Amino acid sequence: MSFFTDLAQQYIDGEWRSGSGSWDIIDFNPYNGEKLASLTVATRYEVDEAYRAAERTQKAWAKENPYVRRAVIERALRLTEDREADIVEAIIDELGGTRLKAQYEVHLAKEFLREAIALALRPEGRIFPSPIDGKENRVYRLPVGVIGVISPFNFPFLVTLKSVAPALALGNGVVIKPNQNTPVVGGGLIAKIFEDAGLPPGLLNVVVTDIAEIGDALIEHPVPKVISFAGSDRVGRHVGAVTASHFKKAILELSGNSALVVLEDADVDYAVDAAVFSRFVYQGQVCMAANRILVDRSVLTEFTDKFVARVRSLKTGDPRDPDIQIGPVINAFQADALTTLVDQALAEGATALVRGTTVGNLVEPTVLTGLPDDSPILRQEIFGPVALLVPFDGEDQAVRLVNDSPYGLSGAVHTANVERGVDFARRIETGMMHINDGTVHDEPFVAFGGEKLSGLGRLNGDASVDAFTTQKWISVQHGRSEFPL
């Protein structure tokens, strides 16, 4: 099977077909510009078809024995394992991810499928006491119905599965809208795995389209009860506003401006390793990436010398080459935006310790320091291989600097005293914080999500159960009630 030939289509009500829009989305390899596929966009009509198919099929799926649902997820896991090598190659081609990144993404996706297998049997009903004699209060946990999933380009296979697999395991139907840059890895590939795993036709659908074609039809449609969105805070703000106005629940995984903090008692060599990974994994196109690296002034010189040396050693080039650590950013727009961002910071007075060049979509690493306190780059997400080194004097100033951001997704602190690190982490306004580690982590059992402009809601484990199910109270009166009227 050629993924980019066979799966570059809409998948609606169990059928692979073209969209009926008037224009095409072209899927390019971001490294060499090769055309991978061309997909005619879906219209509002196809969006409606997809949601109606999921709604129709979901009712029977929700009544299905959860062991049957679990068996489908188990088969999806086995198919992912069987096709792992091909999926890795597709991620490299469509995302420009390095081989290490692609392997890491598939590894995590398999872990989340394993968790979804367990989730199929996790929802539990409860019986609560009542102050009324003879009354029994039963609370059932039921699937919400249909979920809309809007996935990003940077980890499309993993992030899409993080919503799709638990939603299906818990008895829901799903409609996916993958990012235009990754319509196969984030859409068709996932649909094919579940189709081959025996998922009932119509339960999972993929619509490849754009807001220019469908407007807000995907999030305004009356069928979906939950919209799971991962992307920028700018778009997420709009998604949240529209879903709220239609009384839908939104799970929003948005932008980050994470900081990795190096206290004066840290293991500097280890902190350098963590910082290099946290900033430059997948070219820095990760919401949890450490945009800012804060270093206590007492170890600043040692850390800076070692960090800069490591960054200079990173190799930029063809992501298929296993010796390459930095591949292309996703497209020319992003490459140009990063160049402009760095130029503006330098014009404002920043100093470039490393100044990478840009050739096509290949953006070499840059390290900036000496940034003015009011520099806009310190408070925004940098979706690319640009690191900001910021010195501080003492913990209190470090806390103020980290929290001086509209975002609060992830972070890390390095110290020889673990409990000191925990106390520091508790002061940081962020959804996730890691002691003596990197900033980029995602685990199937642990609630994942951010504070401030980094999102609303949580996913993973029990948080996914909360996201994709609802509670229903049914009371039973044994005997006769007495009514005051």
36 by DSSP, 3-state: which?
strand
Q: Which DSSP state fits 212? A: H
Q: Tokens for 4?
A: 């980019």
Tally the residues of the chain: 485
State both tokens at 177.
């809208």
Where do runs of H (alpha helix) occur along 170-314?
A: 189-196, 211-214, 217-220, 233-245, 268-280, 300-313
Beta strands in 407-468 (DSSP E): 407-408, 411-414, 434-435, 451-452, 455-456
In whole angstroms, give the CA distance from residue 410 to residue 429.
9
* Residue of 243, 314, 263, 271 whose CA lies nearest to 457: 243
Structure tokens at 254: 């948005």
**CA atoms of 75 and 70, how far apart (whole Å):** 9
367, β-bridge pairs = 354, 387
Catalytic annotation on 253?
yes
Specify whether 287 is catalytic. Answer: yes
Q: Which two tokens stand for residue 203?
A: 């339960």
- Catalytic residue (one of 94, 195, 213, 253): 253
Query: Given 115, 195, 287, 381, which residue is catalytic?
Result: 287
- State the DSSP H helix or E strand holding residue 373, giving kind and residue range, or none if neither: none
Residues 6+ away with beta carbon under 8 Å from 450: 253, 254, 256, 407, 408, 409, 410, 430, 431, 432
Residues annotated as catalytic are 253, 287
